[in-house]
C-alpha cells in the first residue's frame, strides 16, 4: 500500500521501519535519508503520493500545522484517502480535524498508542482507535504490523480519550507509589522490603513493579519523560474544564510535574516524581 508517514521521531521512525519491512511503499516527511522510501519535501507531497497518511507528531499544534498549514496534508489530499493520527493530542481538537478532513471526502481515524519506544521497535504497541468502523477495518492490517493490543474504542476522538485516561491512571499510580515508598522510608522502614510485601495484594500493579523498582534504585533514565507526561495531563485538565468534571488528583499531579520540570528534571523518567516529592531528604 502507498503510505505517507509524517513525523519520524523516536516513535515514528521505528513504526515506519516496520511498515517498510512488511512491504509497504512509504513517502516520508521528514526523514534524514535513513529509511527506504521516497523522501518528500512537504507533508502535502507525502499526501499526494499516498492512499493512507499516518501522522506521529509531538502535540496538537504540530498535527494541526501538518494537516492544515502551508504545504500541509489537506492541500493535496485525494478523495477516498484515509488519514490516521497516531499522535497523542487533544480529543476535542481531534473531532474538529476529523470533520475538516471528512469534508474533503476522506476518512479520519485517531489511533494513539502506548508502549513507548520499546513497543514501537518491537511492534508491540497498544493502539486505541476512534473513527468509523469501516475506516478502522481498512487500517487494521497496518495496525497489526505496528502493535498487538488493538481496540476500536468508539467514534472519532474516542482513541485520544482512552489515551488520556491511560495517562491519568499511569501518572497517578506512579505518584501513589512514590508517596507510599517515601512514607515508608521517612517512617524508618526499608522501602524495598515494603514494595516486595505489597506486590502480592490489592496494591499490585505494573507501576509498583516497574516504576517502584526505578524509585528504589533511583534510576531515572527515560523511559517516558516527565515533560511528555505533563502534556498528557494538561490535555486531561483542559478537557475537564470543558466538561465541568473535577479531576483533583490529575490536577495535583500535573502541578507536581510542573515542579519537577522547574527543578530541571523534565527529561527524566516519570518515575522521578519520587525525587520531586523527596525534596531535601538525605
List residues near a second copy by CB under 8 A: 91, 114-115, 126, 128, 130, 148-149, 151, 153-155, 157-158, 161-162, 164-166, 168-173, 175-177, 179-184, 186-190, 193-194, 196-198, 200-208, 210, 236, 239-240, 243, 245-250, 252-253, 256, 277, 279
CB-nearer residue toward a second copy: 248 or 264: 248
Going by the DSSP 8-state scheme, the letter that residue 74 receives in this structure is G
Distances (CA, A) of 34 to 14, 40, 75, 97, 165: 11, 13, 27, 30, 35
CB-nearer residue toward a second copy: 27 or 276: 276
275 is annotated as an active-site residue:
no
Give the contacts of 99 (CB within 8 A, at least 6 positions apart): none
Q: How far is the CB of 220 from a second copy (least distance, A)?
A: 16
Q: How far is the CB of 25 from a second copy (least distance, A)?
A: 30
Q: How far is the CB of 83 from a second copy (least distance, A)?
A: 20
Strands 107-110 and 147-154 turn out to be unpaired
What are φ and ψ of residue 201, in 5° steps? -105, -150
- Among 95, 163, 231, 275, the one annotated catalytic: 163
Residue 280, classified by CB atoms within 10 Å of its CB into exposed (0-12), middle (13-18) or buried (19+), is exposed
Q: How far is the CB of 91 from a second copy (least distance, A)?
A: 6
Return d(Cα 109, Cα 98) in angstroms, integer. 8
CB-nearer residue toward a second copy: 37 or 119: 119
What are φ and ψ of residue 111, in 5° steps? -150, 60
Q: How far is the CB of 155 from a second copy (least distance, A)?
A: 8
List the one residue out of 103, 160, 102, 112 whose CA is nearest residue 135: 102
CB-nearer residue toward a second copy: 21 or 193: 193
Return d(Cα 185, Cα 191) in angstroms, integer. 6
CB-nearer residue toward a second copy: 74 or 150: 150
Torsion angle, alpha carbons of 230, 156, 158, 254, to 10:
10
Residues annotated catalytic, as ranges: 163
Amino acid at each position: 500500500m502507498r503510505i505517507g508517514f509524517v513525523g519520524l521521531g523516536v516513535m515514528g521512525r521505528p513504526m515506519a521501519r516496520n511498515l517498510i519491512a512488511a512491504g509497504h511503499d512509504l513517502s516520508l516527511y521528514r526523514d534524514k535519508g535513513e529509511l527506504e522510501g521516497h523522501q518528500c519535501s512537504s507533508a502535502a507531497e507525502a499526501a499526494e503520493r499516498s492512499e493512507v497518511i499516518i501522522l506521529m507528531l509531538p502535540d496538537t499544534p504540530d498535527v494541526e500545522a501538518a494537516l492544515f498549514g502551508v504545504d500541509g496534508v489537506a492541500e493535496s489530499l485525494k478523495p477516498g484517502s484515509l488519514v490516521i493520527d497516531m499522535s497523542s493530542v487533544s480529543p476535542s481538537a481531534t473531532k474538529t480535524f476529523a470533520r475538516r478532513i471528512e469534508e474533503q471526502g476522506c476518512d479520519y481515524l485517531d489511533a494513539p498508542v502506548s508502549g513507548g519506544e520499546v513497543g514501537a521497535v518491537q511492534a508491540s504497541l497498544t493502539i486505541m482507535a476512534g473513527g468509523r468502523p469501516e475506516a478502522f477495518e481498512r487500517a487494521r492490517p497496518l495496525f497489526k504490523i505496528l502493535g498487538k493490543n488493538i481496540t476500536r474504542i468508539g467514534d472519532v476522538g474516542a482513541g485520544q480519550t482512552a489515551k488520556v485516561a491511560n495517562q491519568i491512571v499511569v501518572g497517578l499510580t506512579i505518584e501513589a507509589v512514590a508517596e507510599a515508598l517515601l512514607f515508608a522510608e521517612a517512617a524508618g522502614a526499608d522501602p524495598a522490603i515494603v514494595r516486595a510485601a505489597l506486590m502480592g495484594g490489592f496494591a499490585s500493579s505494573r507501576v509498583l513493579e516497574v516504576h517502584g523498582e526505578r524509585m528504589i534504585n533511583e534510576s531515572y533514565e527515560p523511559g517516558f519523560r516527565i515533560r511528555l507526561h505533563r502534556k498528557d495531563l494538561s490535555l486531561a485538565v483542559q478537557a475537564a474544564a470543558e466538561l465541568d468534571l473535577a479531576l483533583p488528583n490529575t490536577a495535583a499531579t500535573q502541578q507536581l510535574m510542573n515542579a519537577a520540570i522547574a527543578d530541571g528534571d523534565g527529561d527524566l523518567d516519570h518515575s522521578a516524581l519520587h525525587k520531586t516529592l523527596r525534596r531535601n531528604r538525605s
